[in-house]
Structure 1
Amino acid sequence: MQLRPHPALTNLVRHYLVLDGASTAASVHRLFADGNTGLVFNLNNATLCTTDAAPAQHTCWVYGQVSTYHDLLLTGSINWVVAVLQPYAAYHVWGIPATEWLNGLFPAAEVLGREVTTITNRLANAQDVHDRVRLLDNFFLQAIDKEPNPDPLIVQAVQYINSRHGIVSVESLLKSLPVNERTLERKFKLHIGITPKRLVDVIRLTHSAKRMQRISGRLLTGVAYDSGYFDQAHFIKEFKKYTGITPHQYHAQAHPLALNFLRL
């Protein structure tokens, strides 16, 4: 279930995502890039870790940009509220260079302090989903009280890419902005953690995944062309590079927790 944040948070929070499922034995889930960062509030007993690490149970995880796919081991009862943030939001709110979050899945309390534990406890004790949204809105509104507006150049760049579903070139992006390529790339690394070209590729792939979720049958050629790929072979190659599976495998996936988080 996706829920909208307070209107004043539009440039910070894309949406809140509620994931609630039955208890599960240890199972491997694949996470791949969708261009966003965020906080995962763990309101039950789920544990989450990379497949080569010991299981860890935390009340909240924070994640950054993902440059490639990762396999994570998930156990326990899933009762999560995910604050899906804009690509640049983590740097704007907490001031940590986005490159330091790259490929990271961290216990949030270690990175952001005691306030994350407080909000997680309040979310767990909330009466319903509407109370949880109100708590999250207040949490983020207080976080941006002193500096409500992110870098306008970065916001404009991300909006331009999103509005065209990633079917843009870096050259056309630069023509739409009062900035040169070197400065834009430096700002992207600081605010978002990846290059403009990488974000373009990720957003295009994300929109292709959304298109696949809306169609039935196995004819995915139209998705390739609608998503701006040269042909089906190019689409398959790019999709597998970022997700580790083919578009057909993704389309047949029966157990997605979220667009970019799939049970294998």
Structure 2
Amino acid sequence: MQIAPPKHLSSYIRHFIFLENAGDDCKNLRLFTDGSTGLILSDSQNLYTGVSENPVPSSFFYGQPGKFKDFTAKGSFSMIAVVFQPYFFNILLNISAKEAKDQIISAEDILKSELLPFQESLLAGKNPKVIITELAHFFTKFLSEKISSDHALIKAVQQLMLKHKGSVSSKELEQFTGYSERHLERKFENYIGLTPKKYGSIIRLHHFINLMKKSNESESIAGLSYDAGYTDQSHLIKDFKSYIGLTPKQYQKTENKLAVNFIELRK
């Protein structure tokens, strides 16, 4: 279940996601980059990551994923994901997005016990929509009304890149911002954790995924990749494997797409 945030939070939170598993079976989940960071709240400690299945905190923030990250959920669980706009991680936690890239950070290490009531509500089986409404109130109260000029700039550049489906040249960004390519790169890495070029490639990839979802079976991968702005199909497949760990056809065959950047893998 994916839920949009209140309008006043849409500049900071992309959406909320509720997931649950009522059985005792294991689920293999993959989180891949869509340019966003976020927060995972869970009612259990049955979530593991990596081949060695290292346990992760029941509630944690995740930094900008450089590529995909696999999790194993063992047994029953209820989980809420808060998917941030790329720059909100920096605003909320006052941490360089570049330094937090690919990191999992325990929520208790940053917000102490402030998120504990939401975990307890999940454990008690409270209506997830009510919990998400309460989370929205929490972020509204927590969020400072003072947004720096840098944050406003990064948001404006992000909107420009989204408008053009990621196809914005360095020269165009220089003209739009008045900053040199390297200066803008440093700002982007600090606030989003990626360079503009890398972020643009992720936007383009998700534009292709949206085209693929809307297409019919007669439309070729090659044709859709061209429509998405790729110069050749091999470039698309390289990006797909790098960011998602699958080919476009393997992704198409994935049945349980939980969110735009979250899928269940079948073994």
Q: Structure 1 length normalisation: TM-score? A: 0.89
Match of 1:11 in 2: 11
**Which amino acid is the alignment partner of residue 74 of structure 2?**
T
**Which amino acid is the alignment partner of residue 202 of structure 1?**
I
| Structure 2 unaligned residues grouped into runs of 5+ | none
**What do residues 178-229 of structure 1 show as CA deviations (whole Å, max 9, x unaligned)?**
3222221111111111111111111211222233233343732332122110
Question: CA 1:174–1:131 in structure 2 vs 1: closer, same or farther (change >3 Å)?
Answer: same
Match of 2:100 in 1: 101
Question: Partners of 2:6 and 2:262 in 1: how far apart?
Answer: 25
Q: Is the 8 A contact 2:225 2:236 kept in 1?
A: yes
**Which amino acid is the alignment partner of residue 167 of structure 2?**
I
Question: CA 1:173–1:76 in structure 2 vs 1: closer, same or farther (change >3 Å)?
Answer: farther
Q: Is the 8 A contact 1:39 1:83 kept in 2?
A: yes
Structure 1 position 236, deviation (Å) = 1.4
After the TM superposition, which residues 80-119 of structure 1 pair with which residues of structure 2 at under 5 Å, given as runs?
Answer: 80-119=79-118
Question: Partners of 2:96 and 2:190 in 1: how far apart?
Answer: 5
Match of 1:202 in 2: 202
Match of 1:54 in 2: 54
After the TM superposition, which residues 114-263 of structure 1 pair with which residues of structure 2 at under 5 Å, given as runs?
Answer: 114-122=113-121, 124-125=123-124, 127-147=126-146, 151-217=151-217, 219-263=220-264
Question: Partners of 2:21 and 2:100 in 1: how far apart?
Answer: 28
Question: CA 1:174–1:124 in structure 2 vs 1: closer, same or farther (change >3 Å)?
Answer: farther
Greater shift, 71-80 or 89-98, is seen at 71-80
Structure 1 position 24, deviation (Å) = 5.2
SS in 1 for 2:224: helix
Question: Partners of 2:92 and 2:105 in 1: how far apart?
Answer: 17
Structure 1 position 123, deviation (Å) = 5.2
Question: CA 1:24–1:263 in structure 2 vs 1: closer, same or farther (change >3 Å)?
Answer: farther
Greater shift, 242-251 or 159-168, is seen at 159-168
Structure 1 position 45, deviation (Å) = 5.8
Q: Structure 2 length normalisation: TM-score? A: 0.88
Question: CA 1:118–1:129 in structure 2 vs 1: closer, same or farther (change >3 Å)?
Answer: closer
Structure 1 position 4, deviation (Å) = 1.8
Question: Partners of 1:84 and 1:21 in 2: how far apart?
Answer: 20
Question: CA 1:147–1:189 in structure 2 vs 1: closer, same or farther (change >3 Å)?
Answer: same
Give me the identity figure in percent.
32
Question: Partners of 2:156 and 2:128 in 1: how far apart?
Answer: 32
Match of 1:30 in 2: 30
Q: Is the 8 A contact 2:21 2:75 kept in 1?
A: no
Structure 1 position 247, deviation (Å) = 0.6
Structure 1 position 101, deviation (Å) = 1.6
Question: CA 1:249–1:13 in structure 2 vs 1: closer, same or farther (change >3 Å)?
Answer: same
Question: CA 1:4–1:124 in structure 2 vs 1: closer, same or farther (change >3 Å)?
Answer: farther
Structure 1 position 250, deviation (Å) = 0.8
Greater shift, 130-139 or 215-224, is seen at 215-224
SS in 2 for 1:62: strand
Question: CA 1:257–1:76 in structure 2 vs 1: closer, same or farther (change >3 Å)?
Answer: farther
Question: Partners of 1:206 and 1:121 in 2: how far apart?
Answer: 35
Match of 2:68 in 1: 69
